[in-house]
Structures are given as C-alpha cells and as structure tokens.
Amino acid sequence: MTRHLGACEKRSEAIATADQRPGPDGPVVHLQVQDTSSGEYWLHLEMDGSATLKHLDGYLRAIWLECCGHLSEFNTGGLGSRKFGMARKVADVFKPGVELVHVYDFGTESVTLVRALEVRNGKSTVSKPIALMARNEEPVFPCQECGAPSTALCMECIYEHQRPGTLCEGHAESHPHEDYGGTLALVNSPRVGMCGYDGPADPPY
C-alpha cells in the first residue's frame, strides 16, 4: 500500500487540486498506523503538520479505540520511553522514519505504532486535520458453529468455554449466552472484544 500511494494517480490529482487553493503551503505528513497485537489492522493517514498529537489521538479514538474515555499517551516505546505532550505539533514530532507508540487504556491496553513515511510541502487534500488514504480490509473470521463469515463475537464463549466466540448473523441471533451482555458486533478495529468497546464513531472521522 505504501508503494501504491506513492504512485497513485488519484492521490496525485487530489494533491494538485489542493495545492491550487489560496493560502500558504506547509508540511503534510504521511503516517502509517498499525496495531501491535496482530498487525492485521492498519491505516495510512495524511495529516496537516500544524495539527497536534491531540488531533491524532482523537482520530484514533474515533476510528478504532474509544470505549470508556480512558487515558492515552504517545511515547517512544520500550523501557525509559520518552512521552510526548498532546499539544505538540505533528510536523515538529514526525520526521520521515520517526516512530511513536500510542497507548490507549492503561488497564486493557490497545497499543498502536505510528510511523512517519513522508513529509511533503503543500496543502491538505481535506478540510479536516487528517485524511484517511487507505485502511486494511476487515478480517474475515469463520463462525464457530457453521464456518460462515462471522458478524458477531461472544465473550462468554471465549472466556468461559475456550471457544473462538465468532458467530455468523444467524447463529448470533439464536446464541444463548447472556452473562457477558450478549454478543458484540465484529468491526474493523483491533479493540474488538476489549473493555466496553462497541464500535467506531460514525464517519467522517
């Protein structure tokens, strides 16, 4: 996907159109975002360099993470990691090759790696601080009962019965387990099944 975006004609056209708008140019940062648990979930974002880490934190919460208003932070990862304040401007933090770790919820952690791939000088292609250029296709999990593509998840099956917990629409409707609040919708997020997560905010993010 990184190679594709570098050669994408539609992206080049969008950048050329944006650069014709009035106003000063500035740094625009291409960020690759990936969950560190499975690596199946990823995003390619383009972010106005004058926006802050708070904007990026809010975006990750909206599209992937927010469940109960937990604390979060950006750091350099590993022992003795350095933390970055949410008011820091993206262009001041992210240079090509720089990686930061984003942690949401310090009880049931969701950990995301954010890497700067490129910084171009120009204008953002959207009016918001962040443009979503690409994301992973939603993983397909077989229903534990029939093997059909799943749409729901049963946490009681996972924790109490050591089963996958994945259920197709039909088996989710008739599933008897209620001790964990019933089934959850399977969505394109690495936080599925964690804490009180029940899905992303409504787009646009």
pLDDT tens string 146-186: 999 999 999 999 989 999 999 999 999 999 998 878 899 99
Q: Are residues 143 and 130 in the same domain?
A: no
Q: Can you give the pLDDT at residue 204? A: 81
DSSP per residue, 98-115 = -EEEEEE-SSS-EEEEEE
Q: What is the pLDDT of residues 101-123, one digit of tens each?
A: 999 999 999 999 999 999 999 99
Of 135, 155, 174, the one marking the end of a domain is: 135
Is residue 48 within a helix (H) or strand (E), and if so which, with residue range? strand 42-48
Residues 175 and 98 in one domain: no
Pick the last residue of a domain from 82, 103, 135: 135
Please report the sign of the dihedral spanned by the C-alpha atoms of residue 122, residue 124, residue 127, residue 130: negative
Q: What is the pTM of this model?
A: 0.92
pLDDT at 122: 97
Query: Domain check: are 41 and 93 in the same one?
Result: yes
Question: How many structural domains is the chain composed of?
Answer: 2
Is position 204 within any domain? no
Tokens 């004058």 belong to 50
Q: Does 205 map to a domain?
A: no
- Taking residue 47's Cβ as centre, other Cβ atoms within 10 Å add up to 26
In this structure, are 121 and 174 located in the same domain? no
Q: Is 153 helix (H, G, I), strand (E, B) or coil?
A: strand
In a domain, 203, yes or no: no
Q: Is residue 27 part of a domain?
A: yes
d(CA 100, CA 75): 6
Q: What is the DSSP letter of 150?
A: P
Assess whether 52 and 153 both reside in one domain. Answer: no
For residues 154 and 190, state if they share a domain.
yes
Question: What DSSP designation does 142 have?
Answer: B
State the residue range of the domain holding 175.
139-198
Do 70 and 162 fall within a single domain? Answer: no
Question: Which of 109, 135, 161 is the endpoint of a domain?
Answer: 135
Report H helices in 32-146. Answer: 53-60, 90-93
The per-residue pLDDT of the chain, averaged, comes to: 95
Closest CA to 191 of 122, 107, 85, 119: 107
Q: Are residues 11 and 102 in the same domain?
A: yes
Q: Determine the 3-state secondary structure of 37 from DSSP.
A: coil
In this structure, is residue 41 part of a structural domain?
Answer: yes
Q: Are residues 131 and 161 in the same domain?
A: no
What does the pLDDT average to over 43-67?
98
CA dihedral 18→59→121→9, nearest 10 degrees, is -50
Task: Round to whole Å and give the CA distance between 52 and 41.
Answer: 23
Task: Verify that 131 and 181 share a domain, yes or no.
Answer: no
Q: Are residues 115 and 148 in the same domain?
A: no
Same domain? For 130 and 149 the reply is no
